[in-house]
Structure 1
Amino acid sequence: MPDTRENVMDAARWQQVKRVFQEALERPHEGRERYVSEAAAGDSSLEREVEALLAAHEDAGAFLASPTKGGATAAGDTDPAEVFARLQRALAGRYSIERELGRGGMAIVYLARDVALDRPVAVKLLPPHLAGDAAYRERFLREARTAAGLSHPNIVPIHLVEERDGLVYFVMAFVDGESLGDRVRRAGPLKPADAARLVQEVAWALAYAHGRGVIHRDIKPDNILLDKGSGRALVADFGIARVAATETVSGVGEVIGTLRYMSPEQSTADAAIDGRSDLYSLGVTAFFALTGRVPFDSENPVTLISMHLAEPAPPLLSVRAGLPAKLAEAVDRCLAKDPAARFASGELLAEAIADAKVMGRAVAPSVREFLAAAKAAVWQVPVLSALWWVALQALGSLVPNRPMIGHPLDPVFAMIAVFTVAVVLRPILTARGVLRAGLGEQDVAEAVASSHLVRDANVEYELARIERLGRLLSRSWVRAGLVALTGAFVFGMGSYIVGERHTLYEVAWAAVNLLAITAFFSGLVIVPRKMAALFTRGTKDNAAFLGTFWSGPVGRWFFRLAGLGLRRSSKGPSRVAEPTEVLLGRAAGALFDRLPKDLRTRLGDVQQVIGGLERAAASLRERRDALNEALADVGADDASSRRGKLVIELETTRAEVERRLGRAVGALENLRLDLLRLRAGVGGPDDLTRSIEEAHVVREAVEREIEAKREVEAVIAAV
């Protein structure tokens, strides 16, 4: 790649390049090279730049003419019910499809269940119109199998790559969360520490893959998944992007979305691409995560490519001030045009992020939510107190001798009351969330106190804003205004106290208000910066105090009261963690309930069959677990023939139980699939009737076995 300075074109130069490029596009493909050479008139730099744009157009611009390949229908034109049924038949006995998660030009993604391992998985299916292309299919399978060989905590693992019955698909781990793109679009840019952790984790994943010769080629926010429970970043579609990059896709938006994160060398036909290309894309992704925008943007793909080739990226600090300097420097270095100017590897990028020391201690989401609520209450309570004081003063002075009910200020009191209830309830409800997660006041105290043990970039970013407020309060004219306001208040309250006869309660009330307001304004005048820092979270000034506060008696009693009526335990199981037979039974039962009443009557006792299969599968699963425990309890050091016979017997029995469990779960799966086909109008009642009969046979066989086992146990107990 040329040096950055050679790539930067002035406006006149760009107009010349664009004119030659556009005129070349109007000529037949075979004559373009000759035309460019003639138009360049010996200007080799101009010729190279136009050829680079033409190469990028060939690679990524053909979508403008044809969104699908060879006139085939797009993924969305294939009957979803038919594709669903075909895929379920191909996966029958191994994976049970639950629902479609999404679809695009390159894939259809389903949520499924691994029957044997009882875990959720995602199935990514190559649309039939692409699977029909033999060359594309082979390339896809080859790259997917290469990606399946990657095993890293920050890479979504691929469990199975397969071609069956004309379908091409792979099965990968299901990540319960959202993509980075969805997260930023939903909640805005990430905090510096969160973004630093994400970049470091993705850098580790890229370093691992690059060391094994695998380049992603499509690092972007939508290919980075954030696990809901841990916040861990996982890179998806490793290796698959290499295939997608050579094909057309479903529309302009999808191509533009990918080009926003494409490295300059990916747009050049003869450039060698290595792992540093992924680091450039990661730099663009980090820029987006921290600012909510990309460094280069255009709705025209050719213009977008030229910006990556020629325009220097804006410095990150020029877009979002206040970020840690070393973090910004690392991102800016990733965005260098020349690969040699970037980090040589993902390990070096991860080390640079670590050296920036912007990541604090990991805090559970429920604790973060509680801390946010507690922080808000710090300023909301004084505001509420002031509002109530003003309202009560107005009640007595503006409209004296009026009853409370029907008072003209009733709407104001109602609004303040609602606000008061919200302010009081939010910390309590978030504290209950902490308890539901199996955590407590000690975890909150440690999360707060840890902020002074590490250099947390989020705190620094917040302190930068507080410092600006402190400087404002330190100005002479602001201090003079606060002194005048304080003097007027003291004079007014003093006149009130000594000017008339008041009850002791009224004098005490006025004195408390006088002292509180005077102290607050005096603090703003005398130590404005300290007052501004008082309401911040996690600063060195108050982190130790807050940590002691929450771990002390007040914190313990607060969480004890907040947890009244709440069973405190570890994080409750979600539906995704329930046994497969329960999920299948629930889904099948819901589908049956949605059928017309006359059809439900005709089909008979389907719900009873479903319930029986669920119970049978649950019993078999318990027996399998007991056999696993028995095998684990057999002495591993005992090499006697007796032990060997026992192990063989237990393993044979376990294999038979697993076979019967597979049949029971498979029968439930067939019932659900036939109910789904019947509801979708692609199957008939006869298919469902056959599945019901098979389910009866499986259930009765399991029940007979269970009953026989009980009789044997009863005889043994009687002896």
Structure 2
Amino acid sequence: MRPGPAQHEARRAAAACRHADPPAHHLARHERAVARRQRGQRGVRGRRAGARYRSPRGRPLDHREAVSDYLQDRLVAAVGDHYLIEEEIGRGGMAAVYRALDLRLNRHVAIKLLPPDLAFNADVKTRFLREAQMAAQLNHPNIVPIYAVDERDGVVYFVMALVEGMTLAQHLRDAPRSSFDEVRRVIGDVADALDYAHRKGVVHRDIKPDNIMLDRASGRTVVTDFGIARAAAGDSRLTVTGVAVGTPAYMSPEQALGERDVDGRSDIYSLGVVAYQMLTGEQPFKASNTPAMLVKHVSEAPQPIREQRLDAPDPIVRAVETALAKDPAARWPSGAAFRDAIRAAAPATAPSIPRVAQLSSTGFMQSPAVSPTPSPTAPGFFVLPPLPVGYGRDAWREWKDEVRARADDYRGQAPLSRRERRARSRDIRRLRCDDPARPLDERIAAFRRQLVGNVSTLALLFGVNMLTLPEFWWWLFPALAIGIGIARRWGNLWADGATLKQLFSRAQPAPPHGGWAPDQRMHQQRPASVALPAPPPPERALVSDAVLAGPHGAAVRRAMGDRIVIREVLAKLTPTERQMLPDIEPTVNALGDRIAALASTLHSLDADASGANLGALDQRIADMKKETQTAESGRRLALLERQRTTVHDLLTRRGQLLPQFESACMALQNLKLDLLKLRSAGIDAALGVVTSATQEARAISREIGHVLEAADEVRNL
């Protein structure tokens, strides 16, 4: 329970004369903590634990309350001469935070305590102290300052400034989607703080909303917990290959691969994930477990921001996409570059947007008290109208209309009615579906989603019709109107080369591996000044464009992406570790070449031999046999039978190659997953699994090689 105002005044007065008369209740608590520790050393703690850990009313404390009381007592015993511990204000997997009063300087501070299970580890304790001392050298308005770092009686802690406010995670739980001005301000401030820390040689390694604070008093965005993630990396789980350090949902690909030495661009990626969440209201990747989340960070591209928030400004979208590039070289080179890009997205009519000071009780952002209140008509400012005094529906409706009118004036547009806004939204959605500049597969996917929605609507109308007026089928009239729209959109797709097979097929081409590549229109809209030239896909060097456009193209792209991931993992191993896995690289190269060769062969067989061709030949042979036999008809019959035999052999061969093609793709994918497991779990733990997968891949590659060699010999006859 927090002390009241009267208790605070009494403690402040006692702190002023602490040398003459320390607070009696504080000394008593300090003595009780020391006595409990001494009893524990004599072995009495176990016999009296049940009686000691009870609430004032006699109710036994639960496990969390007991652990909290034990940690707080240890902290009081360690720092009781200088700090008055008031209450616990936060707890995580790496530290517990307490609110305290500095008795010497008479100010409130926050004390972060390393849990005993980590403090007992000498390596973790040394790292914690070293990282905290490095972070204490940081002096930036957007970084929480550290006042002291110390270890007493086995208690490892550091004292930092107390930030009154909320974390960004708490703010996002209340309002999942942030305004664009708030995204610019928060991400810009954090990027500026990271740029300063990176220039000082400090990498955060755990940027996430829980480590970003919104100060209620000053409106500043401050970053906390510099170096805590690296300190915890000194745990005994650390292997020669390294482990993934940080929070999985916000890890960079290099962190997910367990790299030991990451630079500031890893923090840029994590901050890009935070910006993505602020814009869309959800994280870019979702997974049921940590390994699946790490794999997605390494090999998958997130859903484009424009698909979840249509009104997102292009500069913000480009800035966040660049920060989320898989390759560190394709990201922003520094926090300053990311800061400048995100702040350059501000509207041209508002070069200086006032900083946010605090969150009001109503949840709206208010300006600092020291800044003058801008006029509603002043250019560059958007001010909410005063809230209605009453609670009537008409008053709130008028207030909302006033907000919309001011928003339209702020954007330099004429006020729109509700019907006009809805019509404009429908036009935007229809343009996104019918825009000829979009790739055909995206237009087909959008048409498929609209088709499902239209069919569901018609089914609902049919059910309502049958329940209300079954003798008059009025649902056919809206069905006719919807059908005309469907036919028109399908006609546009069919004119551009779409087929019914593509419409009902769910196969999607795998995204190219490497940097962020959301879709084609994003690259078309990106200016040349920030464009990231994409290298040609590696699969184009092995197979033709016709193969990539065929039914086996998606599998080839996926296999080439797996091969790139495997090469990257192998390149990041030490020479000693690569010597322990000597057969992986040649096996992967041979298997990738085999997959490309099989895809080309299957593509040729799909075009030359099919069940329809065989059926047509059988029909022609049957008709030929019914005709009068002559010398010419005999020769034609012999040619047809020979052709049928060839087609039958080709179909048999295709049936043999297709399972081998699928097995090769799965073997390459399994090898990639095993190598990712090796990077995160350690070389010793995953060596057997990787070796077994390599042997299986080599066996499959040899079998495919024999089949292809036999086919070449037959072709040369």
Q: With the length of structure 2 as denominator, give the TM-score of the two structures.
A: 0.42
Q: Higher relative CO (CA 8 A, sep ≥ 6), structure 1 or 2?
A: 1
Greater share of residues in helix: 1
Q: With the length of structure 1 as denominator, give the TM-score of the two structures.
A: 0.42
